[in-house]
Amino acid sequence: MKKIVVLGSTNVDTILNIKRLPLPGETMAMDGQSSAGGGKGANQALAATRAGAETSFVSKIGDDHAADFMLDTFKKDGLNIDHVTETSKAGTGKAYILLDENGQNSILIYGGANQTISIDDINAAKETIKKSDCLISEFETPISVTIEAFKIAKENGVITILNPAPAKDNIPLDLLKLTDIIVPNETEASAITGIKVEDKKSIINSAEKLNKMGINRVIITIGSRGSLYYSEGKEEFVDAYKVPVIDTTAAGDTFIGYLAAKLDSDLGNVVEAMKFASKASSIAVQTKGAQNSIPYVEDVKI
């Protein structure tokens, strides 16, 4: 069984259902609201678990009811939470998701406890990282902590996957050089490279620039159009599955968790893993919410 470690955020999501995004200064009525488990790290960890991998999660939560809610979810799925620790310095992270009637979302994040993860937490999880096949991280926790975790991974032959989200334009080169596979969407790729991702040519140009920045393998997800794999001058597009879209929340996280669970240790099957991940994402977008939309492996058939 594949062993995966995810370093990342734990949030409780509040989903606000609206017809469209409000204009500046506009007051709008909502069509409804609901709460669910979220956080990019937690989503990716649960996706990897549901994809069949033995997954450990490194995260920080507050001393509050939101934390209890999230821990119950993790335990139910069999996620290893030995390194999910509690702090009294901040509350459990929260996300407020504006979801329009077309299934598109805009998200506001309160980092909370996620921003208190420290290098001490990484050192406590060191042996778990060393024994894993793959380490995943994103940008809802401090970058300095991710760099330390990736150093441990690379020293021990562990594959590193970076999801550069939320988008940043000043990622330390030290982190990029420690990354085996980077998985941005169009917005994130544009922020990193300065190349506006609009069409096939600009997607390839953006991926090529990421290659030159020190990352040998680039996967750019492009929503309903699918995803691009680029490595050392060669590219391959993977089409998305055409399905009715209800909510895109956690679709990217589902993709990354399933991708990691499918990858071979020599990374020789990246495109095959992308197709598997794309199928899982196509299932996720057909259900409202984040973690409740992430499918189980027995439902993902290609």
> What residues act catalytically?
253
Q: Is 125 annotated as contributing to ligand binding? A: no
Q: Is 77 annotated as contributing to ligand binding? A: no
Q: Say which amino acid occupies 102.
A: N
Q: Is 52 annotated as contributing to ligand binding? A: no
Q: Is 160 annotated as contributing to ligand binding? A: no
Report the DSSP beta bridge partners of residue 136.
6, 161
Q: Is 247 annotated as contributing to ligand binding? A: yes
DSSP per-residue codes, 11-37: EEEEEEE-SSPPPTT-----SEEEEEE
Q: Is 292 annotated as contributing to ligand binding? A: no
**Do residues 283 and 241 make contact, with C-beta atoms less than 8 angstroms apart?**
no
Comparing CA positions, the residue from 177, 132, 119, 146 lying closest to residue 41 is 146
Q: Say which amino acid occupies 17.
A: N
Q: Is 42 annotated as contributing to ligand binding? A: yes
Q: Is 91 annotated as contributing to ligand binding? A: no
For residue 70, how many C-alpha atoms fall within 13 Å in the half-sphere facing its CB?
Answer: 33
Q: Is 32 annotated as contributing to ligand binding? A: no
Q: Is 50 annotated as contributing to ligand binding? A: no
Q: Is 268 annotated as contributing to ligand binding? A: no
Comparing CA positions, the residue from 107, 178, 108 lying closest to residue 143 is 178
Q: Is 13 annotated as contributing to ligand binding? A: yes
Q: Is 293 annotated as contributing to ligand binding? A: yes
Angle, CA 68 vertex, CA 137 and CA 128 arms, to 5°:
35
Contacts of 111 (CB under 8 A, 6+ apart): 9, 90, 93, 140
Comparing CA positions, the residue from 118, 49, 129, 124 lying closest to residue 90 is 118
- The first and second tokens of residue 238, run together, are 């993977």
Q: Tell me the binding residues.
A: 11-13, 39-43, 140, 185, 221-226, 247, 249, 252-253, 284, 287, 289, 293
Binding residues for ATP: 185, 221-226, 252-253
Known binding-site residues for K(+) equal 247, 249, 284, 287, 289, 293
Which residues participate in the annotated binding site for substrate?
11-13, 39-43, 140, 253
